[in-house]
Chain A
Amino acid sequence: MEIKLTLNGRPVTGQIEPDCLLIDFLRDHGCLSVKRGCDTANCGLCTVLMDGKPILSCSMLAARAAGHSVQTLEGLQEEAADFVGFIADQGADQCGFCNPGFVMNTIALLREIPDPTDDEIRSFLAGNLCRCSGYEGQLRGIRSYLESRREKGDSRHGA
């Protein structure tokens, strides 16, 4: 079947099998940041934004994304680059395999709650598993990003 959707701001038309999962469609269309970690919607690695909201692309048929706007990390490089350096400074990227899903959901978090508390960060990102870092370094990274934004008096996100 044929589907049309907006992928990272560009219109895309694809021929798919009806049972094609969105994650496979995205990887087939060059969005290799999207990772498969579990097959059971438990790990958050495949998180992408659909119409601006975070979803698990392993648990959605590509056909259901037809007519919608899907964004992967490939399309949000600048927004991500704004804060991921702070994660890097903590060394919390580690193996990196969970990073794209984690970064996508952090983008969603910062859009929804511009100045989150530690507990809000933990609870928003609870579905993003990481086996390497023990999570604390990711939290420190986000926290130091928020602090630096505050120091700069950046009010872009209403902080």
Chain B
Amino acid sequence: MEHKEYHSINKPVRKKDAMQLLLGKPVYTDDVTPRDALVVKILRSPHANAMVEEIETAGALKIPGVVAIYTWKDVPQNRYTNAGQTYPEPSPYDRLILDRHVRFAGDAVAIIAAETEKAALRAMKVIKVKYQVLEAVLDPHTAKDNPVLVHPEEDWYPPCPVGGDNHRNLVASETNSDGDIEAVLNSCDIVLDRTYHTKAYNQAMMETFRTYAEMDAYGRLHIVSSTQIVFHVRRILSRALGIPKSRIRVEKPRIGGGFGAKQTSVSEVYPAFVTLKTGRPSKLIYTREESQIAGSPRHEMEIHVRLGADKDGRIRGIDLYTLSNSGAYGEHGPTTVGLSGHKSIPLYTGNLEAYRFSYDVVYTNVQAAGAYRGYGATQGIFAVETTVNELAERLGIDPTVIRDKNMVREGMQMPAYYNETANACALDRCMEHCRQIFHWDEKYPVRDMGNGKVRAAGVAMAMQGSSISNVDVGSATLKLSEDGTYNLIIGAADMGTGCDTILAQMAAECMDCSVDDIAVFGADTDASPYDSGSYASSTTYITGKAVEKACSQLKEKICSIAAEMMGCGTEEIVFGGRQVRRISTGQTLTLEEIGYKSQVFNNQAAEVTVSCSSPVSPPPFMVGMVEIELDKETGHVTILDYMAVVDCGIAINPALARIQTEGGIVQGIGHTLMEDIQYDQWGKPIESSFLQYKIPTRLDMGRLRVEFENSYEPTGPFGAKSIGEIVINTPAPALTHAIYRATGVWHREIPITPEQIALSIQDK
């Protein structure tokens, strides 16, 4: 492993936008766009499955201030997907901007554009819609081959072969395996056969979905949107609206959180359509309710695990089947499900002789799911880690020790992870480190506090990936300015995570300058080099690598310009940060001199653009341990301590990596203990506001402690892997474990509410 002294990376540098954000400067979509744009509102279906038989808009159009109302009759008939994925998208083309067939309670029925919000809301009440209400498919278990079809249309189209069939309500289906799983399980001393259920959690980012549209000076459609994926949005709009990409520009200002929600083009198409039709600027700001009921939450999954082991705790076989509920549309359906197996089973590569992973992804008449931090791995890891904890408890082996025996270690090839090799893996050290700081040996035993309360502990491991191998493209443009500073231009989207800053840190490290000397801009389809976008834990790893490469190419350019200035060969010039030097003579030129020269009679651009992709997706690893105090009478769980040790390769910015980890853990705590998604018998969502959908407050998370164990990923920038997603994966299994320790009951569905805990203790 490298032990290098760095001057810019591996330092807790402040985020470049920190003071602007903390002082409340106007930097978000609604702040930076005109306030007199047309207000766009969406009339939404009250029914889970219905045909719009008649829609009467004449009365609403008479309301003063109402400018336009569009229905299914007015929109192009090109089916598309809202999923922010590389073309050809694995997600099926199953959407129209407005469809006569509405498929969930909340689906768009009409687009209203008005001078004021009041007029738009009045119009919403006056539009008369006659629905033919259809039977809805609400239970994912009976969705496949149900006679009621969510997508009966003939022009449903899957750009990729992922095993989907709209005539079977199937978004995707697949089986893959290694070894003879049935033979292995048959020869195991113990086989646990368990089923787990996770819900369609909402990202609940503080800034809801929002988009502004206008026609620019060239008559092109200019979109300003809170999105993680400017280039994918451009492509999606081009297909949905039927206009060329050259007529669309998409940019993102600061983003008020994404967590994957904004990896789907949820809100962009509506104002884009209004502006294209009316020629006027328009803006759509989702209410919190709309974000809750018509966003792009996590895929609800039911995961069936069969895990076989020997009495000594050797885990020999895992058979996993996932039923994933994609809801009314297929965004990210075929891909999220893959992670439920491919990022859970490989944790136990150690002694694994065989695995099988199969899945079905189904359509139902509920809100469509999308991408959410963890992207299926979260669900799979809950299932596999809980099964392993149960195995340990059954066999009477310490759950951390059973993991020591079976975990993936550096150098192992992982059959369940596309046969990739774990070239950088400190999972074993993460476990040891976490055991130490948590004082596992003291906290693992259950302690009755004598007042009706019990203290107990739980543990879980996790992995994720770093980018989508063979797919994601990260790019960086680096330009020299005449004062010797640099512009770094990216297409990745900083959604608050700090990628603008950590990429600048990498550039500063390479160019041997200060982070302040790197000005970062992103992202704008007109100005940025192509980048798939910020998702799939890709930015540090892929865009970071692009930055590293761009720096080395720009140094060559700078040396080449300098060589011309000094009348010598480039090979004679060495780059030295603020200046370059000619080895033979010792003559130097400052970057400022070279920068100015690049603007006078010059044929070599003092800038480079580099793209980068990776054939592998190196997993970060993590261990989380939690201590709880559980009230046996009320079922209330108080988190006392949550400790985590993460192997993300090297933390480019330890402060930001730590915050990522803490934030992910608290989101995971929310999913496990309080955030719930329920539908009434007609398929209407119940938790449609923060009154019902409770996310953790600062009173709900106990004390957090996060530390790191470094590894060195040879394909990553400076040895780095990813951090953004993995951190949400340990709370569900670790808390479920601790709750079992305290109560003797395994909960296999999350969230685990106080009521469920109290009732489960009574039932025992």
Interface residues of A (CB under 8 A from B): 17, 27-28, 32-33, 35, 37-40, 42-43, 45, 72-74, 77, 80-81, 84-85, 87-100, 103, 122-123, 125-139
B24: which A residues are within 8 A, CB to CB? 32-33, 72-74, 80, 99-100, 103
Chain A residues lying within 8 Å of B698, measured Cβ to Cβ, are: 122, 125-126, 128, 130, 135, 138-139
Tell me if B35 counts as interface (CB < 8 A to partner A).
yes
Q: Among B35, B695, B698, which residue has the most Cβ atoms of chain A within 10 A?
A: B698
Task: Tell me the bound Cα distance from A37 to B658 in angstroms.
Answer: 25
Contact B19 A96 (CB under 8 A): no
**9 residue pairs, one from A and one from B, having the closest CB atoms:** A95-B496, A33-B24, A96-B21, A97-B256, A134-B662, A88-B18, A42-B690, A73-B24, A100-B24
B702 → chain A, closest Cβ, in Å? 10
A134 adjacent to B206 (CB under 8 Å): no
Instruction: Determine whether the beta carbon of A91 is less than 8 Å from that of B663.
Output: no
Query: B257 — which chain A residues lie within 8 A by C-beta?
Result: 94-95, 97, 131-132
Q: Which of A32, A99, A136 has the most CB of B within 10 A?
A: A136
Q: In the complex, how many angstroms separate the beta carbon of A3 from the nearest chain B beta carbon?
A: 18
Known contacts A45-B206, A130-B698, then 7 further A-B pairs from the complex at CB < 8 Å, ordered by chain A residue: A40-B691, A91-B15, A93-B18, A95-B257, A97-B206, A134-B661, A137-B655
Q: A88-B15, A91-B655 are in contact. Are A123 and B699 (CB under 8 A)?
A: yes
Chain A residues contacting B659 (CB-CB under 8 Å) are: 90-92, 94, 132-134, 137
B18 contacts A95, C-beta separation under 8 Å:
no
For residue B562, give the distance in angstroms from its CB to the closest CB of chain A. Answer: 37
User: Given the complex of chains A and B, what is the CA–CA distance between A92 and B665 in angstroms?
Assistant: 15
A63 to nearest B CB, angstroms? 16
Q: Are B690 and A129 in contact (CB under 8 A)?
A: yes
| B206 touching A130, Cβ below 8 Å | yes
Residues of chain A contacted by B68 (CB below 8 angstroms): none
Partner of A91 from the list B14, B26, B255, B699 (CB cut-off 8 Å) is B14
CB within 8 Å of A: which B680-703 residues? 689-691, 695, 697-699, 701, 703
Q: Report the minimum CB–CB distance from B693 to chain A (whole Å).
A: 9
**Complex interface: chain A residues within 8 A of B174 (CB):** none
Closest chain A CB from B668 CB (angstroms): 10
Contact B18 A40 (CB under 8 A): no
Count chain A CB atoms within 10 A of each CB in B30, B259, B658, B697 and give the residue with the most: B697
The one of A28, A73, A134, A139 in contact with B35, judged by C-beta atoms closer than 8 angstroms, is A28
Q: Name the B residues within 8 Å of A125 (CB-CB).
A: 698
Q: In the complex, what distance in Å separates the CA atom of A42 from the CA atom of B204?
A: 12
Chain B residues whose CB sits within 8 angstroms of the CB of A89 once the complex forms = 12, 14, 655
Q: Is the contact region of chain B dominated by helix, strand, or loop, or is it mixed?
A: loop
Contact B690 A43 (CB under 8 A): yes
Say yes or no: is B443 at the interface (Cβ < 8 Å to chain A). Answer: no
* 22 A–B contacts from the bound complex (CB under 8 Å): A37-B207, A37-B690, A40-B691, A72-B24, A84-B23, A88-B14, A88-B18, A88-B19, A89-B12, A91-B658, A92-B659, A93-B22, A95-B254, A97-B205, A99-B22, A128-B698, A131-B205, A132-B663, A134-B664, A134-B667, A135-B701, A136-B701
Q: Are A42 and B255 in contact (CB under 8 A)?
A: no
Q: Which residues of B contact A45 (CB under 8 A)?
A: 206
CB distance from B115 to the nearest CB of A (A): 14
**In contact, B704 and A136 (Cβ under 8 angstroms):** yes
Q: Which of B22, B287, B701 is the one whose CB lies under 8 Å from A96? A: B22
Give chain B residues whose Cβ lies under 8 Å from the Cβ of A27: 35
Cα–Cα distance between A131 and B655 once the two chains are bound (Å): 17
Residue of A90, A91, A92, A130 with most partner-chain B CB within 10 A: A91
Complex contact A95–B31 (CB within 8 A):
no
- A98: min CB distance to chain B, Å: 5
B25 touching A103 by the CB < 8 A rule? no
Contact between chains at B23 and A80 (CB < 8 Å): yes
**Contact residue among A77, A80, A96 (Cβ-Cβ distance under 8 Å from B17):** A96
Given A91-B659, A93-B21, residue A134 in contact with residue B26 (CB < 8 A): no
- Decide: A94 near B497, CB < 8 A? Known: A85-B19, A131-B667, A134-B659: yes
Which residues from B are CB-within-8-Å of A84? 19, 22-23
Known: A33-B25, A84-B19. A129 touches B662 (CB 8 A): no
Using CB atoms, name the residue of chain B closest to A86: B22
Return chain A residues, CB-CB under 8 Å to B256.
Answer: 35, 95-97
- Per a CB cutoff under 8 Å, which of B22, B288, B497, B663 touches A80? B22
- The smallest C-beta distance from A97 to any residue of chain B, in angstroms, reads 3
When chains A and B are docked, how far (Å) is the Cα of A35 from the Cα of B254? 14
* B387 interfacial contact with A, CB 8 Å: no
Partner of B21, one of A37, A99, A127: A99
Residues 24-65 of chain B, each 1 if its beta carbon lies under 8 Å from chain A, else 0: 111110110001000000000000000000000000000000
Given contacts A90-B655, A129-B697, contact A40 B690 (CB under 8 A): yes
**Which residue, of B27, B656, B659, B695, has the highest number of chain A Cβ atoms within 10 A?**
B659
In the complex, per-residue mask of B689-725: 1 if CB is within 8 Å of any chain A CB, else 0 = 1110001011101011000000000000000000000
Q: How far is the CB of B473 from chain A (nearest CB, A)?
A: 25
